[in-house]
Amino acid sequence: MCSGGVPMFSKKVLSVLFVVYLIIAPVAAHARGGVVLALSGGGTRGLAHIGIIEVLKEKGIPIAGIVGTSMGAIIGGLAASGYSPVELREVIKSLDLTNLMSERTNPIFVPLSQDSTNPHNKIPWIALDTSGNVVGPLGGVTGVKLLERFAQLASRSQIVRFDELEIPYAAVATDLETGEKVVIRTGSLASAMRASMAIPGVFDPWSLGGRLLVDGGLVSNLPVKTAKEIFPGYPVIAVDVSGTLKTRKEIHSLVDVVEQSLTIFTRRNVLDEISLADLVIAPPVAGVSIFDLTNADRIVDGGRKAALQKLPDIVKLAEKAPPVAQKEELCLESKVVEIKVEGGTPYLQELIRKKYRSWVGEPLSTLNMVRASTEIGAHDDVLAVDYRFEEIGEDLAVVFVIQRKPSFELNVGGYTTNLHPHRWIYLSGVRRDLFLDGDSLRFNFKIGEQWGIDASYLTSPVKNSGWEVILSAQNWELSSNKGRREWDRYAAGINRRFSTGSFEAGLGYAFEQVHSGGEGYSSSGPTFFLTSNTLNDATDPTKGSLFHLQAWWPDMEEVLYRATYFQAARLSDNWRFYFRAGFAEGDETSANGNRAVYLGAAEELYSYSGNPIQGERMFWWNAAFRRILMKSWWGKLNTEIFGGMGFVYDDTGDRYRDVWEAGVSFSIPGFLLDGKLMFLYNDERDFKIGFFIGSPVWGHYPLP
């Protein structure tokens, strides 16, 4: 089989070309002897492998095969699938390790309407798997984003067996249950790379072929023995980037402890195998962190320098080695003859087969495979999606491999700040497959100066489809420009949800009971929401927009609504521009004023969050220039210059209050911690130093 991007020829023409190829192939086969690469793991130190491959390509020394572990498996897999050293350098430059390791949902620090009551960046606490067993987090990062990125990079190849790649290839992983070495030579290239680099404690183990796999470095960090077994007769060049043990004075942080532990784990098996190699190349990686991508070019160049120093020895090995026949991309057009699904509920399996059955009888498109995997991964009960191909004669069966989320999850989070008196902790959870395949019951408990509980039941795991039932009870307390107000709100509603492309919508009906000042108020009426989301990334958007509108028509009297808009733009590698705006319509005269809007109550303007401005309606906007100061495995350090304005109107339609603020902030939107330090100045000539830690959980004032 060949890459998905080759031109389509008729079988008759290809047959003629194949005969010609058989005639000339023996001549090409005797061109030059080849070598086999055994590429070790070592985190980002493994970028040095690119420099090794670069030198071999430049000097015309064929690579007969590649066997890689961890980062060696990633670089080796991409090189084997046809990426040139120049392309590999560009791939590395484009990688955002911080983003790929982050699984947050809102880095913007101004809550958008649809996220404001749904806490994010939660700490996994306890879960039940699909068999009902209690489990905890298996790693700090699920690695779903990494898999998606690997799938995108590997999409140029549509192969079943890795020996059909441009360079024959194998990846090494470890069976977490048995401790056995697992050599992966078939299936999904992306999945093989993801399994091989699953560092225990950092990434979740990867399920593959009925096994739970982790980093291959635990059993074979320098896979020389495996390389000799797979490619007998060829000299094996071992590229060792596993590093050396640090001294006590060099251990200063958690990262240093993790690196030292990994080096200790792998040191013995590296020493056992390195003696089997025909040649060892050890690029200069001393002092390079396993998570550091800031010195990528220097690391690659270090590998290149090390290869050039060993070049005479490499040439000698190649001269004595068996020849490597050059592969030609001569292949018949492969068509899809069947769609298969492994894992997931029967409902989801049937849904996938129906949705993509139009592929049957058509040529395989790996780009479509990547898109489909992303679509399936958006389902609420899906953790990760992988795919592979199965040969059926000259054609292929597409196999989607689904990993489901736990049937029950319980999480904990919190929020604290000095800008207003509201602080809380929250517990949130989800129970899946309660009544139907793929349904879910979600709940959130907020405990603090304000308390609240809300629960929602979704009938379908498909994003924004099916029915939703919502119940909530909230206590609100605000000290605005018009005094202190406290009320309890109880609400129930039902929605029918729809989605198409980037648009999501819902129609429903909501009931509300409010208690304030010893009096009670009840209302009911239809509800509506509309969302358009074209952001290119949820954690670090660089282009696109997000619009959300939510409305309620209580007692068919006056429509209450809230609309928010967010626009992102990339100015350079480290500069971002964000624009945010919002408009809300309330009813200051009904329900004892408890349906008023409050400018600042949801941090539209940070400096007014402790004393928001009450009104009938409001409009606000702010703009920010963000500079990424530093990237690391734990997140980013950002600075932001921002400013904004707000306008508040009374029940007569008059604009009675204009406010503004400007400031500078430093923030850490990481997957371990959310934090922000701000220096604020506003129209009241009030200078404030503020901070917050954690995720705000605000209400949809004035909506139920």
Instruction: Give the residue numbers marked as catalytic.
Output: 70, 215
Using alpha carbons, select from 611, 636, 548 the residue that is nearest to residue 584.
548
Q: Do 280 and 274 touch, CB atoms closer than 8 A? A: yes
Non-local (6+) Cβ contacts of 377 within 8 A are: 144, 148, 384, 385
Can you tell me whether residue 336 is helix, strand or coil? strand
Using alpha carbons, select from 381, 375, 363 the residue that is nearest to residue 400.
375
Bridge partners (DSSP) listed for residue 441: 431, 457
**What gap in Å lies between CA 570 and CA 565, rounded to an integer?**
17
**What gap in Å lies between CA 365 and CA 390, rounded to an integer?**
15
Helices (H), ranges, 403-548: none
Examine residue 62 and say whether the peptide bond preceding it is cis (omega within 30 degrees of 0).
Answer: no
**What gap in Å lies between CA 661 and CA 41, rounded to an integer?**
50
Cα 349 to the chain's mean position, in Å?
Answer: 23
Helices (H), ranges, 154-253: 189-196, 217-220, 224-230
Q: Per-residue DSSP letters for 89-128?
A: HHHHHH--HHHHH---S--SSS--GGGTTS--SPEEEEEE
Strands (E), 517-559: 519-533, 543-552
Cα separations in angstroms, 538 against 308, 381, 399, 549, 579: 43, 19, 28, 19, 16
**What gap in Å lies between CA 679 and CA 440, rounded to an integer?**
42
**What gap in Å lies between CA 395 and CA 334, rounded to an integer?**
5
Burial of 253 (0-12, 13-18, 19+ CB in 10 A): exposed
| Total count of residues recorded for the chain | 704
Gyration radius (Cα) of the chain, Å: 29
Using alpha carbons, select from 33, 39, 34, 35 the residue that is nearest to residue 238.
39
Cα 31 to the chain's mean position, in Å?
Answer: 45
User: How many alpha carbons fall within 13 Å on the CB side of residue 699?
Assistant: 30
**What gap in Å lies between CA 513 and CA 492, rounded to an integer?**
9
Q: Do 343 and 401 touch, CB atoms closer than 8 A? A: yes
Angle formed by the axes of helices 311-320 and 296-309, to 10°? 60
Using alpha carbons, select from 74, 25, 21 the residue that is nearest to residue 48.
74
**What gap in Å lies between CA 325 and CA 32, rounded to an integer?**
9
Using alpha carbons, select from 635, 45, 40 the residue that is nearest to residue 295.
45
Q: Exposed e or buried b for every residue in 33-42, given b needs 16+ CB within 10 A?
A: bbbbbbbbbb
Q: Do 412 and 125 touch, CB atoms closer than 8 A? A: yes
Q: Do 56 and 239 touch, CB atoms closer than 8 A? A: no
Look at strands 617-632 and 575-585 and give their pairing. Answer: antiparallel
